[in-house]
């Protein structure tokens, strides 16, 4: 697409691309990927290179294959054809440097909120002292406003609270690649906005998560958080329809996005790529 920028405030689409300075090699590389389940081909012909430090969203209608693609990056599925590489290595299974927040929260139901996070931090940070790990757990629970609920089990929480704990756990572990499958799907609009702020804040507190890939159905969320938005076609045999650049410097506030001269055009373009309606 052609983006019209305001003549007095030209926007450099690459102004805040940390990755351009740090590395040319892709952090995640998906090449010629196809995934079939028996006779059903879910996705095909997927080529996508994601640079270190990028925030990339995957968007598309329900059932098009977003979770399937994200699962490949997490090592939770294998392509029928093609390759997925992270750090130049073929992904053959899950690893501590890649952490997934699932579409359905994935917390351990028998552990408290606190222990769900502590166990994950403990596994990922073997060399840290008990005090350091406890401090990390407290910091992320405070950031998502769940510290007061730390003794509860997941079954005692609301859907939005569970998702906040899942996001906090992922950031406490701070993997270099963070994979988010509709992390805010079950939260109301106001909580979602607060969580977006917290996600931006958490990433700056913890500081070791470099690259994020997020599945979302929410166009505004994708624009607010992403460097690039990958729009998928409908399945079967879904592919990439277009990769849309978000030329607004990160980190951004909601006001930066709303007042950006490209916001309306980006939004309209994404809506037209997805059909006339918001994605299901
Ligand atoms: N294990 C499986 N066996 C058979 N078909 C599968 C399997 N996993 C996914 N599929 C099919 O592959 C397609 C893509 O599924 P996927 O879960 O990736 O969609 P999605 O884009 O994440 O959808 P949603 O937005 O609803 O979460 C769907 O048609 C689904 O039915
Ligand atoms: Mg999905």
**Domain residue limits at 76:** 26-273
The reported pLDDT for the residue numbered 205 is 60
Residue 230 inside a domain? The answer is yes
Decide: 44 in ligand 1 pocket, CB within 6 A: no
Residue 33 has pLDDT above 80, yes or no: yes
Residue 50 inside a domain? The answer is yes
Residue 246 inside a domain? The answer is yes
Q: Please give the number of the atom of ligand 1 that sits closest to the Cα of 35.
A: 12
Distance 216 CA to ligand 1 centre (A): 14
Neighbours of 252 (CB within 10 A): 17
The mean pLDDT value for 253-258 works out to: 90
The reported pLDDT for the residue numbered 11 is 39
Residue 280 inside a domain? The answer is no
Closest by CA to 138, choosing from 118, 158, 123, is 118
The reported pLDDT for the residue numbered 110 is 97
Ion ligand 2: residues, CB within 5 A, are 67
Residue 278 inside a domain? The answer is no
- Choose the residue to mutate in 38, 41, 42, 80 for probing ligand 1, maximizing ligand atoms within 8 Å of C-beta: 42
Residue 217 inside a domain? The answer is yes
Closest by CA to 102, choosing from 192, 190, 170, is 170
The mean pLDDT value for 124-137 works out to: 90
pTM for this structure?
0.86
- Choose the residue to mutate in 63, 219, 230 for probing ligand 1, maximizing ligand atoms within 8 Å of C-beta: 63
The reported pLDDT for the residue numbered 252 is 87
Q: What is the CATH number for 207?
A: 3.40.50.300
CA distances from 86 to 72, 97, 115, 166 (A): 11, 10, 29, 23
Residue 202 inside a domain? The answer is yes
The reported pLDDT for the residue numbered 18 is 44
Q: How many domains does the chain have?
A: 1
pLDDT tens digit string along 56-92?
999 999 999 999 999 999 999 999 999 999 999 999 9
pLDDT tens digit string along 136-179?
999 889 888 899 999 999 999 998 889 889 988 988 888 889 89
Question: How far is 161 from 113, CA to CA, in rounded Å?
Answer: 10
Residue 128 has pLDDT above 60, yes or no: yes
The reported pLDDT for the residue numbered 203 is 63
The reported pLDDT for the residue numbered 206 is 57
Distance 107 CA to ligand 2 centre (A): 17
Nearest bound ligand to the CA of residue 37:
1
């Amino acid at each position: 697409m052609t983006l019209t920028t305001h003549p007095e405030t030209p926007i450099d689409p690459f102004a805040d691309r940390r990755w351009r300075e740090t590395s040319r090699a892709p952090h995640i590389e998906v090449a010629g990927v196809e995934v079939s389940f028996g006779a059903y081909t879910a996705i095909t012909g997927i080529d996508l290179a994601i640079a270190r430090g990028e925030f990339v969203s995957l968007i598309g209608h329900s059932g098009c294959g977003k979770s399937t693609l994200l699962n490949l990056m997490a090592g939770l599925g294998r392509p029928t054809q093609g390759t997925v590489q992270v750090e130049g290595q073929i992904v053959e299974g899950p690893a501590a440097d890649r952490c997934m927040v699932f579409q359905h929260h994935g917390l351990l139901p028998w552990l408290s909120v606190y222990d769900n996070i502590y166990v994950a931090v403990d596994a990922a940070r073997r060399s840290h002292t008990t005090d350091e790990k406890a401090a990390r757990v407290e910091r992320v629970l405070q950031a998502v406003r769940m510290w007061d609920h730390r003794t509860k089990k997941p079954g005692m929480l609301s859907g939005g609270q569970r998702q906040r704990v899942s996001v906090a756990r992922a950031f406490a572990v701070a993997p270099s690649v963070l994979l988010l499958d509709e992390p805010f799907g079950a939260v109301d609009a106001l909580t979602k906005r607060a969580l977006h702020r917290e996600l931006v804040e958490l990433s700056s507190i913890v500081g070791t998560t470099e690259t994020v890939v997020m599945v979302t159905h929410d166009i505004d969320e994708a624009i607010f958080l992403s460097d690039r938005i990958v729009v998928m076609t409908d399945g079967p045999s879904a592919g990439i329809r277009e990769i849309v650049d978000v030329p607004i410097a990160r980190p951004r506030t909601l006001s930066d996005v709303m007042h950006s001269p490209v916001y309306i055009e980006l939004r309209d373009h994404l809506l037209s790529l997805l059909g006339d309606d918001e994605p299901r």
